Amino acid sequence: MSDANRRKSGRKRARRRKRRILFAVEIAVIFFLVIALFVVYKLDLADTGNKKDVEMATVNDEVQAHTDDKGDDSWNMNGYTNIALFGVDSRDTNLGKGARTDTIMIASLNNKTGEVKLCSVFRDTYLNIGNDTYNKANSAYSAGGAEQAIQMLNTNLDLDIDAYVTVGFKALVDTIDDLGGVEVNITDEEIHYLNDYQIGTAEAIGIKQSDIVDIKSSGLQTLNGLQATSYCRIRYTKGDDFKRAERQRTVLTQIAEKAMASDPSTLNDIIDDVFPLCSTSLSKAEMVEYAAKATTFKIGEQSGFPFERSTGTMGKAGSSVVADNFSQNVIELHQFLFGDSEYSPSQTVQDISSKIQSDRTKNGV
């Protein structure tokens, strides 16, 4: 490959890394950072302290050796707090077992600098789902709730997840409504899909079909919570999931900006509406601690796993996202989250990589 082609390939890879961001779970980050002054008084609203879900999710011996306070820190994982963020497409406000994760994200907090890096795990990624069976990543939460979903992330990615936060679509809808909506420039192509998604989203969170307000025309307009959430879910227009990610960033940016500029009464409404729709392993004491540090946090780089990937039908799992050289993708993930390190994939990850490649070959992907 020529130098020019290598540079071109490198630029493409860099662009791919920046294209993905998943929306529902990042709202959890915004909630816990933006509204710090009010959290202390509202803690009883959230479903907190589900520590067993994290404690029951194990890590392999090699990861343990590199994350123990007295162990080998050559992987550079100490000094980080890793939080799994789940956004569930729940039909009955269930945030536990039985709910599928529409979005999966890892938020890695550098405890020294306050930078929070976000990496989404594409929901259709073909993985060991935490029990030595292989399926799409989003099936792990459905099968075993937060515990199995965390187990999946730890097992496949050589991680030691410290905590989790789960939210549903209703949290996003209510937040946008409390903020007075968001302005979005709708295209002609998007109108049909947006209105179609409103039907399913409304059904999922208990909004009457008669309360749906269809989008009638293209152009810049203020979307309510249901409309904006449905807009974020569109994935069938030109650009498919990459365009979907752009839509999500558009909405998220406005949410963050409007929340930052909101008065105490509006933020109080958001907490009252949203905290009952969250489930987390963080204790009340931990939430107070994070709230006190909120002004020192900043959202850093964002990316998506796997970085290099193909799509195809993987047997019973159906249409899936399949990593090109799984082990190498995990190496890139550690470099992205933790910077320079001497990380090399554990035997567990190497075995998973071999299995994925074998299944890929068998299915002609």
Q: Which of 73-87, 92-106, 162-176, 178-192 has the lowest mean pLDDT?
A: 92-106
Residue listed under structure tokens 């990610």: 245
List of residues 6+ apart from 250 with CB closer than 8 A: 182, 184
How many domains is the chain built from?
Answer: 2
Q: Provide the pLDDT confidence category of residue 286 given band limits of 50, 70 and 90.
A: confident
Q: Which of 5-9, 123-127, 174-178 has the lowest mean pLDDT?
A: 5-9
Full residue range of the structural domain in which residue 42 is found: 22-168+271-362
Give CA–CA dist 143/147, Å, rounded.
10
6 occurs within a structural domain: no
Q: Please say if the pLDDT value at position 215 is more than 90.
A: yes
Q: Please say if the pLDDT value at position 12 is more than 50.
A: no
Q: What is the pLDDT of residue 157?
A: 97
> Does one domain contain both 145 and 280?
yes
Strands 126-128 and 182-186: unpaired
Q: Which of 3-17, 69-83, 159-173, 217-231 has the lowest mean pLDDT?
A: 3-17
Give pLDDT tens digits for 308-319: 999 999 999 999
83 occurs within a structural domain: yes
* Residue 129 near residue 135, CB atoms below 8 Å: yes
> Does one domain contain both 328 and 275?
yes
Phi, psi of 79 (to 5 degrees): 90, 5
> Does one domain contain both 51 and 130?
yes
91 occurs within a structural domain: yes
Average pLDDT on 220-224 reads 96
Q: Provide the pLDDT confidence category of residue 204 given band limits of 50, 70 and 90.
A: confident
> Does one domain contain both 344 and 220?
no
**Of the ranges 4-18, 66-80, 249-263, 336-350, the best mean pLDDT one:** 336-350
> Does one domain contain both 148 and 220?
no
266 occurs within a structural domain: no
Q: Which of 120-129, 273-282, 321-330, 341-350 has the lowest mean pLDDT?
A: 273-282
Q: Provide the pLDDT confidence category of residue 21 given band limits of 50, 70 and 90.
A: very low
Q: What is the pLDDT of residue 41?
A: 44
3-state helix, strand, coil in the chain (%, to 5): 50, 20, 30
> Does one domain contain both 216 and 249?
yes
Max Cα distance, the chain (Å) = 62
> Does one domain contain both 76 and 147?
yes
Closest listed residue to residue 297, CA positions, set 14, 74, 33: 33
> Does one domain contain both 154 and 234?
no
Q: What is the pLDDT of residue 317?
A: 96
Give CA–CA dist 169/228, Å, rounded.
11
Supply the DSSP symbol for 47: B
> Does one domain contain both 69 and 204?
no
Q: What is the pLDDT of residue 291?
A: 61
Per DSSP, the three-state class of 128 is strand
Decide which of 228, 261, 294 is a domain's last residue.
261
Mean residue pLDDT of the chain comes to 81
Q: Please say if the pLDDT value at position 49 is more than 70.
A: no
Average pLDDT on 21-37 reads 44
34 or 146, greater pLDDT = 146
Average pLDDT on 238-258 reads 71
* Residue 139 near residue 127, CB atoms below 8 Å: no
Average pLDDT on 18-46 reads 45
Q: What is the pLDDT of residue 169?
A: 79
Decide which of 225, 243, 261 is a domain's last residue.
261
Give pLDDT tens digits for 298-355: 777 878 899 999 999 999 999 999 999 999 999 999 999 999 889 999 999 999 999 9
> Does one domain contain both 225 and 311?
no
164 occurs within a structural domain: yes
> Does one domain contain both 201 and 82?
no
1 occurs within a structural domain: no
Give the CATH number for residue 46. 3.30.420.590
Q: What is the pLDDT of residue 159?
A: 96
Q: What is the pLDDT of residue 277?
A: 77
- CB count, 10 Å around CB of 75? 20
12 occurs within a structural domain: no
Q: What's the distance, CA 109 to chain centroid? A: 14
162 occurs within a structural domain: yes
Give CA–CA dist 265/208, Å, rounded.
27
Decide which of 261, 290, 307 is a domain's last residue.
261
> Does one domain contain both 51 and 196?
no
Give the CATH number for residue 223. 3.40.630.190
Residue listed under structure tokens 């406005």: 254
* Residue 157 near residue 323, CB atoms below 8 Å: no
Q: Provide the pLDDT confidence category of residue 16 given band limits of 50, 70 and 90.
A: very low
